[in-house]
Amino acid sequence: MAHANAALTPRQRLRLARAVVEDDWTVSYAAAVFQVAYPTAKRWVERYRQAGPAGMADRSSRPHRSPRRTPRPLVRRIVHLRWRHRLGPVEIGARLRVPASTVYAVLRRCRLNRLSHIDRRTGERVRRYEHERPGSLLHVDVKKLGNIPDGGGWRYVGRAQGGKNRAATPGKPRSKRREPLLGTAFVHTVLDDHSRVAYAEIHDDETAATAIGVLRRAVAWFAARAVTAERVLSDNGSAYRSHAWRDACLELGITPKRTRPYRPQTNGKIERFHRTMADGWAFRRMFLSELARRQALPGWLHEYNHHRPHTAIGRRPPITRLTNLSGQYT
């Protein structure tokens, strides 16, 4: 498209062409009046004679023929090596005896220049899915975090000081080496597949009873926001394979589903949420105690659900995908 200060906008081109074709101006005179070069004026006159007013619009500068373009069979071989073997441009070029720059140009044109489009384990194209409405599928999982000793953990104060803080933490059982056992924080998370709205609780275990309690409270929390849970997807942990979990889901009217063994990609949304949670809350800043970190979780969850833009849903906060909320008319 012509820029704002162009000598010939589409309207001016039409005036020039009509002056020559309909008013019998010479091309030289029209070029002088409209202050453009003779070849430029002649080009628009010829286009007007061929296509009329429609020919005054801009055309693509792409050539009609590209005789030196990479042949299609070679493109297919490059794509095959990229998909199946996850090779880089240099390795593919060495195998096919073509320049690495040519291989990279093909990969970029096919949107395979980055391996994020490919499953690194299988080489298959990444298959993404999203359920069409909130509550259609809830992802559940547990994130394990080591408890923080009083005074701060080793990530921020270093190994030596972290060991001293660990030894000085009171009220903890001791191992055979007389080292305090700080234990593990189990963050039980529930994530809505469509909206990415998250619910989380911290407990000291991951038993079936604890997981069921979290699910009941999460379902009630989502129901208060006009979301009815229909299915729940979990991994193959012992809590989710128990009869108690199955009976609780049946009582809540939810269909339980489990991922294929050794296939965490199926539950990838909550796995990615755990990474976001670790970066944004668990390890974002120095906490001087485990209690301080646990008290910071509700505030971070509110920030994630209501304010943080989510790139997978159009850079909007997850809560905007829930309908019938107070003050929302969608």
What are the residue boundaries of the structural domains of the chain, listed by start? 10-54, 72-117, 138-147+183-321
Whole-angstrom distance, CA of residue 262 vs CA of residue 118: 18
Q: Residue 329's pLDDT is what?
A: 44
Structure tokens at 169: 């933490």
Each residue's pLDDT tens digit, 282-318: 999 999 999 999 999 999 999 999 999 998 898 899 9
Q: Residue 272's pLDDT is what?
A: 92
Whole-angstrom distance, CA of residue 312 vs CA of residue 305: 13
Compute the average pLDDT of residues 232-253.
96
Q: Residue 183's pLDDT is what?
A: 85
Q: Locate the DSSP E strands across the chain.
A: 138-146, 184-192, 198-203, 231-234, 255-258
Whole-angstrom distance, CA of residue 87 vs CA of residue 81: 6
| 118 CB-near residues (< 8 Å, 6+ apart) | 82, 83, 86, 112, 124, 125, 126
Q: Residue 9's pLDDT is what?
A: 87
Q: Model-level pTM?
A: 0.65
For helices 10-21 and 38-51, what crossing angle results, to 10°?
A: 80
Residue 178 has pLDDT above 80, yes or no: no
At 327, is the pLDDT very low, low, confident or very high (cuts 50, 70, 90)?
low
Mean pLDDT of the chain: 88
Each residue's pLDDT tens digit, 210-240: 999 999 999 999 999 999 999 999 999 999 9
Q: Which residue has the tokens 């942990």?
A: 237
Question: Of 45-49, 146-150, 153-157, 283-287, which gets the smallest average pLDDT?
Answer: 153-157
Q: What is the DSSP letter of 111?
A: T
Compute the average pLDDT of residues 42-50.
93
Would you tell me how many other CB atoms lie within 10 Å of the CB of residue 325?
A: 13
Whole-angstrom distance, CA of residue 141 vs CA of residue 147: 19
Task: Yes or no: say if 309 and 320 are a contact pair by the CB < 8 Å rule.
Answer: no
Task: Yes or no: say if 13 and 59 are a contact pair by the CB < 8 Å rule.
Answer: no
Residue 4 has pLDDT above 60, yes or no: no
The domain 138-147+183-321 is placed in CATH, from the list 3.40.50.2000, 3.30.420.10, 3.30.210.10, 3.20.20.70, at 3.30.420.10
Whole-angstrom distance, CA of residue 279 vs CA of residue 42: 62
Compute the average pLDDT of residues 31-57.
92
At 8, is the pLDDT very low, low, confident or very high (cuts 50, 70, 90)?
confident
